[in-house]
Structure formats: structure tokens, C-alpha cells
Structure 1
Amino acid sequence: MPGGRTARSRFKIPLSCDDGASCSFAKQSGTAKLLRMASLILWDEATMTKRQAVEALDNSLRDIMGRRDRPFEGKTIVFGGDFRKVLRVVRRGSHSQIIDATLRSSHLWKVMRQLRLVTNMRAHNDTWFADYLLRVGNGTEESNDQVNIQLPEEICVPSRGKMNDIEQLIDHVFPGLEDNMSDPNYMTSRAILSTTNDNVDKINICMIERFKGEEVIYHSFDSAEDGPYGYYAPEFLNGMTPNGLPPRALKLKLNCPVILLRNIDPANGLCNGTRLVV
């Protein structure tokens, strides 16, 4: 969304957010002033958000506005999302723990009004695919004894051997890559999704090899958040690959120098931030 921010960044939601938590901004801060002025807040993909994060915003809005009797201080908030997608991930959590972490388990759910969107605008010109997605999401698509569904052949790329599958997939998703790799519209209108970061790294390596130019490798400067005395060996920090962040060795084809900085918390594998200095 143009001009959008992540909820955790915009509302200063703490990383460890439990019941009764509040956002970490002061009443006199710029964030508080902005929230007082806001007449509408849009929060997308709220179905994958931990309910305590939404409750933390509710607690903070009631505090900065001085009203404790109205949810979100009476402001209109539009939560977007689909509960048929992947729910909030709870590490080693049971089914009940995952359900408890969702927005529907929050005490705020009863004051929310549900508006259902029934038309898939992205697949508006492909009604068959839109209906197929709904059947899969609703659990009505035909499955076998192991509750596995068989993908239709028309949406599959047939395998030709393990060594060539990734190359064939790239050719299918990025036809004419050599002639269009400098076209931003061509590159941003296509994507390959994968289940694990290991597969993503393999696909990225294959894609980089297809680009023209000399390959360069940039290594990150890793430091431990709570290790100023060198308790953590550099080899240990270099081996950590937190989700959503580049690997230790970043392979690119550029004409300008890049420095990758990572500040890692070894206790949970989280990085405080990654900056590309060009």
C-alpha cells in the first residue's frame, strides 16, 4: 500500500507482546499526535497478527485519548484479512494455542462488524481459478484419505528431472528473461513463492546466475545485541539466518559497493535491523 507502514513499526508494538501490553510510545510523541488526528486506520493481514498486538493498540488508544470505556477510543479501524490463509504462527504451539493467538479469540472481536468480500478482484477474469481457490480455502475440494488434494494439470509445470526442475520453473514464470531483465514492470509482475528459505536461496542463486555482469559477494558484519564482551563467536553469528533477512553472504550483480550490517540477538535469532549502505 503506497505510504503504508508495518503495524509493529507504526504503532511501536513491542516484540514480546503478552496480555495487557501497550504500545511503546509516549503520550507526547509524534505517533500519539498522529493517532489523535487519525479518523480511519487500515490494518491489512490482521488475521495473521497476534491478538495481543491488536489489544495493545486498543489499550494505548484508550490511554492517550483519556477514554477507557470505548474500544479503540471510538476510532474506526478496518482490519483486512482472510482466516483461510495461514494463521498466526506459534512456535511448537498446539491447535488450541494457535486459535487462542488469532484475532477471533480476542475480547474485541465481539465489537467488530464483519464485512465479507465475495469477489476475487485479482482473478476477476479467471472465474475457474477464483472458484478453485474458494473450494480449497473452504475445504470442499475433493481430497484423498490423507486429506491431500490433487492440483489440476493445467496449473502445474510438469517435472523433467530433479536437476532441471528449478530451471524449468524459472523459464515458465520469467519467459524471455534475458531480454526483459532491465524492465522493472516485467520483474515486479512475476514472483516465485516457496515453502522454505532453503528453497528460496536455491532459486535466488539460479536467478542471479542468469543476470548479466560480474557476480560479487557481500558479507555482513554481525554483532550480538547482548554480547559486548565477545561471548558469541563470529562463526556462530554468521551461521544464523533469521526469517525475512538476507543471508550472511549476499550474492548480487551490482556496480556499486554495499555493506550489510546485522545486529543479532542470539537468544532468539532475531535481528534488530538490516541496513544496506550504498
Structure 2
Amino acid sequence: MRLQGNGNSDELKKFYEWILKVGDGKLAVPNDGYADIDIPKDLLILDYDDPIHAIVHSTYPNLIEHYKSANFLQSRAILASTTEVVDQINSYVLTLIPEFLNSLRTSGLPNHKITLKIGTPIMLMRNLDPSEGLCNGTRLIVTKLANHVIEARIISGKNNGGVLYIPKMKMSPS
């Protein structure tokens, strides 16, 4: 993880040090693999009615105004512990972004629905072309949708800013 800050460098330095201690297992000593970690109150969202709404609006303030900005999306991410939470967050964010364009259901596979809109940030879940940096985890923004192809602008990795065409892929259970 790489952090950049525009504000107080002392606060950012404290956060760097805290997150390194978490990663190194040095916050709760002795550490036998299980530890209680106190999260600083300034990192918590304490006042909310809907947790999904709260985390999205905290991570992506003014999303409607900036959802097409690669810089805005590159500097933010929401990490979730389960696929169910990821689906809830994705569904919520897609309701915020204007212009519904496409939804797909793939027969023969478990029920799955993908809803895409122009301007939606997406992430590759398969290695399409590792030599070109198009690997699992590469982040993109959808720029066009067609019947058999998705055009997207790469916003992470070595080809940042490049355009990728993702063809329709046939998927079937093994």
C-alpha cells in the first residue's frame, strides 16, 4: 500500500508508523498469532445509520462529481472481508453513478449479475496478458460498452492511461 497526503505530514507519518506496526505484529506483544489491536478513533467512522453508505461516502467524497476521474479513483479503495460485502458495496456505488447501460447473466454458471456503466471502476479478475501488465488486480475505468467488447482505460500498473478492449468471453463450468 502506498499513501499520499496533502495535509499534515506529522499525522501521515504517525499513520505510516502505526500501519507498519500492525503489519509487523508489533502492536500487541507478545503476539501468538492472535491480537487485539486498538484502532485510533480518527480512523473510525463512528456516527452512521447505514455502514455501506458511511464507508462509501467517507472513502469517495463527492463521488458523483469525480467518478470519471482516474486520479480520484486511483487514490482510494475499499477493502472488504467477504464477497457478499463486495457485492453490497458494488451495488450501492452503481446506484449512485448515473446512466445504467448493461446487465448480464451467464447461463450455466452460478447466479451472478454484473452491472456496468460508463465511468465505473472495475478490476480484472483474470490474467489477460501478464506481459503487458494486464493481470488479476489491474484497475480500469469503463469508457465504452458494446455488444461483444468493453473498452476501458487502465488506471493502475505499468500501462497506466492505456486503453484496453476486453472481448466477450465464453465461460462454462468445469
Fold match, TM over 0.5? yes
| TM-score normalised by length of structure 1 | 0.38
Contact 1:218 1:258 in 2 (8 A): no
CA RMSD of aligned residues (A): 3.0
Q: How far 1:211 sits from its partner (Å)?
A: 0.5
Offset from partner CA, 1:202-250 (integer Å, 9 cap, x none):
1011010001113521223x6xxxxxxxxxxx2xxx217xxxxxxx321
Contact 1:173 1:192 in 2 (8 A): yes
Aligned partners of 1:251 and 1:121: how far apart in 2? 29
Provide structure 2 residue ranges, at least 5 long, that are not aligned to the other structure: 119-143, 149-167
Report SS of the residue matched to 1:136. Answer: helix
Aligned partners of 2:105 and 2:147: how far apart in 1? 9
Q: Which runs of 4+ in 1 moved over 6 A?
A: none
Higher relative CO (Cα under 8 Å, sequence separation at least 6) belongs to 2
Report SS of the residue matched to 2:171. Answer: strand
Aligned partners of 2:51 and 2:147: how far apart in 1? 32
Other-structure match for 2:116: 252
Other-structure match for 1:217: 103
Q: Please give the residue correspondences for 1:150-165 in structure 2 after superposition, counting only pairs within 5 Å.
A: 150-161=38-49, 164-165=50-51
* Structure 1 letter corresponding to 2:40: P
How many residue pairs were aligned? 123
Whether 1:137 and 2:8 are equivalent positions in the alignment is: no
Q: Which structure shows the bigger proportion of residues in helix conformation?
A: 1
Aligned partners of 1:177 and 1:200: how far apart in 2? 18
Identity score, percent: 20
* Structure 1 letter corresponding to 2:98: K
Structure number with greater Rg is 1
Aligned partners of 2:56 and 2:72: how far apart in 1? 14
Other-structure match for 1:188: 74
Aligned partners of 1:209 and 1:169: how far apart in 2? 15
Provide structure 1 residue ranges, at least 5 long, that are not aligned to the other structure: 1-119, 223-233, 241-247, 267-278
Aligned partners of 1:209 and 1:123: how far apart in 2? 29
| TM-score normalised by length of structure 2 | 0.58
Q: How far 1:265 sits from its partner (Å)?
A: 4.9
Q: Please give the residue correspondences for 1:234-245 in structure 2 after superposition, counting only pairs within 5 Å.
A: 234=108, 238-239=109-110
Q: Please give the residue correspondences for 1:56-75 in structure 2 after superposition, counting only pairs within 5 Å.
A: none
